[in-house]
Structure 1
Amino acid sequence: MPALDLTIGEDELIEILREHAASADLAGKPSPEVLRAVRGSSLPALSVPKEYGGAGGDGLAVNRAIARIAYHDPSTAIILFQHMAVCSRIAEWGSPAQREDLLPKLATGEWLAASAWSESGAGAAKKNLATIADEREDGWSISGGKAFTTGAGLTDVYLVLAQTTQVEDDSAYGSSGQSFFLIPATNPGIEPDLSLDLVGMRASATGFVELKDCQVGVDALLGPRDTASTIIAGVRRTGASLGAVSVGIAEAAWDLGFQAAQRKSLLDLQAVRHRLVDLRSQVESARALVEQAGRREAAEPGDVTLHSKIHASQACEDVVAGVARMLGSAGYVVTNPINRMARDARAVALMGPTNDLSRELVSMPWAA
């Protein structure tokens, strides 16, 4: 794998990831040692602009870093991806005060960020939100519940999507009557619930976030009121792709299969070599499309980002399944890493925007 540029040192972080990934998955929660290492690394600063103490990394840099982390620990990669995404939203849409206050803390790892967008009844397209923000003289009161929030309970600030105006909207993703709010985890009106027991990405601290009359000031609003759909539409144009997580998992699975073939002296068999070549081609095709998304060179970079997530997650599942078949009965042992890889690979396809929603977002302009 390519080298990581880390304040605490690549070897130290990678060793911690390797040591704790399997046990954290079994426990269903992130390792404190891993979280400390992540906060002490240069990774939280990657997507923060340089003027706020960050590295100023673009979508390509984010995708490469996330793929490298996902190779060792996909759950941690997802936590970092969401942190970087929130940093990018603040850098693009935040007020000068929000940038000055939040971005330096997010860059140093003192604070980690999480997105709280999804709701059980709103569907993948984030319609019909039950989380309501009522405007008051001195700010807002927000009540509702969020599901599948990655980093719930361990991050320091949430980017919360709420309904601020009731409107009829036929847009494909989000509603024009929705707004984003930046809410510190210390706000007494926000409470995480980690009772959600996931099949995949078990160490990602993905759970519920409940908001009960959560009082925030006017300065908590990110961007103009009722423009969340515009902000959401711009997310994919950054080129940062969840497909990067799939690339890391797929490469780890391929290496596992190759090493098993070496141990069993199977590389003399043409059928095994050719199967490994076919699987490797899928890994490289996924990587190429994710990197293309990060470069943002296409006429419609947002569509390439969506395509990269669809293709990389599907390729990853195929590679993991192919390696599992190569491993035979050894892969049927519950402790074999291929089983965790399979569960994590499937999880990426279900993360927002889900693959089905991604297909809809790409294809909607074709409709009459």
Structure 2
Amino acid sequence: MTDLASTLEIFREAAARSDDTNVPDDQALIELRKSGLLATAVPVEYGGNGADTVELNELVSKIAEVNPSMAIIMFQHFAVCARINEWGTAEQKELWLPGMATGDTLGASAWSETGAGAAKKNLATSAERIEDGRWLLNGAKSFTTGAGVADIYLVLVGTSAGREQEQDTKNVYGSAGQTFFLVRKENEGLIANLGLELAGMRGSATGFVSLKDCVVADDHRLGPVGHAPAIIAGVRESGATLGAVSVGVAKAALDVALAHFTKTGALEAPTVRHRVTELSVQVEAARAIVAFAGSRRGEDPGAVTLRSKLFASVTAEHVCFEVARMLGSAAYLVNHQLNRLISDARAVALMGPTNELCRELVSASWVN
């Protein structure tokens, strides 16, 4: 494992380059793979560090302070690790997890698609079982973080088989009759590319994954057929939250303010100090709810995770905009770091589950 401080510095330098090019930084990706950080979420018996969710959230926040795009790539890798560990067969765990610990196998999730809606209810991507027991996947996924750089994709598809086992999925993420498959980047018929000119998270390799007559073995299916909603909900119970990325972004914006006002001497003014203090309190409040989500001590861990993502992402946007207002024209240059942080903060609010979907999922129990 490399030194975390040196890794963070490489990630920090890569953030500006990616913002200019809208592509993931090669040096940062190489560093991510060799750093040992990808082992954090993998159980010890498969060569990982076996960290708990509090530690995962803390690490993601720390990375997000210097490079939110790399934090998102890492978070998605951790999410795929968690799903394999919870739902994978013994053979699947042996196949995938050791490589995910060493950095040889980078995981990504391919769920979103045009017309599916935030809750992923109306998927057009399908999987049909063929005569030899394998599956034929067809469709297209959009807004896939890690597109083109990941080694395996956790793909969410509709399966005609399993619909007879439907449960009430009115108020959950996903829909009955949906199934997950682990698809290698080398699978014939899978094509991943960028093609999205993003406003934020420009180094996250967010793009498209298309599947055309992509044949996948049944032993690469993750979990029972038609069981995707339960798999999605189960990981949310773990307390891993995208709010951790937002905490890092908010802390970075706060640091921008402190550096600016220290340099200009404005911190001598009580009004400036007090405004910065209020922002620091908000950042720590977001950090606290993210930590609480990771601890899973709430009566409803899944709801706490959703609230943590919602609160932290709203806080990050607020802190970024408040710092921009305080800095005035000093932050109005197109290449100012704060403008990237504003766009990155907004990006988290749009990531699944989106903030609007978080509100719907949390409030659903109140009307049932």
Task: Settle same-fold status: TM greater than 0.5.
Answer: yes
Which amino acid in the other structure matches residue 8 of structure 2?
A: I
Q: Is the 8 A contact 2:172 2:229 kept in 1?
A: no
Aligned-residue offset at 1:170: 2.7
Matches within 5 A, 1:276-355: 276-355=276-355
Summarize deviations over 1:216-244 as a string: whole Å, max 9, x none: 11111101111001101112101000000
Matches within 5 A, 1:36-51: 36-51=30-45
Matches within 5 A, 1:144-163: 144-163=139-158
Tell whether 2:75 aligns with 1:78: no
Aligned-pair identity in percent equals 53
Aligned-residue offset at 1:247: 0.3
CA distance in 2, matches of 1:19, 1:318: 25
- Which position in structure 1 is the counterpart of 2:197? 197
- Which position in structure 2 is the counterpart of 1:116? 110
Aligned-residue offset at 1:165: 2.2
CA distance in 1, matches of 2:96, 2:281: 42
CA distance in 2, matches of 1:182, 1:239: 23
1:146 partner SS: strand
- Which position in structure 1 is the counterpart of 2:229? 229
1:267 partner SS: helix
CA distance in 1, matches of 2:22, 2:350: 18
- Which position in structure 2 is the counterpart of 1:18? 12
Tell whether 2:84 aligns with 1:101: no
Aligned-residue offset at 1:138: 2.8
Which amino acid in the other structure matches residue 245 of structure 2?
A: V
CA distance in 1, matches of 2:323, 2:54: 28
CA distance in 2, matches of 1:10, 1:355: 31
Aligned-residue offset at 1:171: 4.0
CA distance in 1, matches of 2:235, 2:144: 17
Tell whether 2:134 aligns with 1:139: yes
Which amino acid in the other structure matches residue 38 of structure 2?
A: P
CA distance in 1, matches of 2:355, 2:272: 31
- Which position in structure 2 is the counterpart of 1:3? none
1:122 partner SS: coil
CA distance in 1, matches of 2:319, 2:5: 27
1:145 partner SS: strand
2:143 partner SS: strand
Q: 5+ residue gaps in structure 1?
A: 1-6
CA distance in 2, matches of 1:32, 1:173: 34
Could you state the TM-score of these two structures normalised by the residue count of structure 1? 0.97
Residue 82 (structure 2) aligned to one of 78, 84, 88 = 88
Q: 5+ residue gaps in structure 2?
A: none
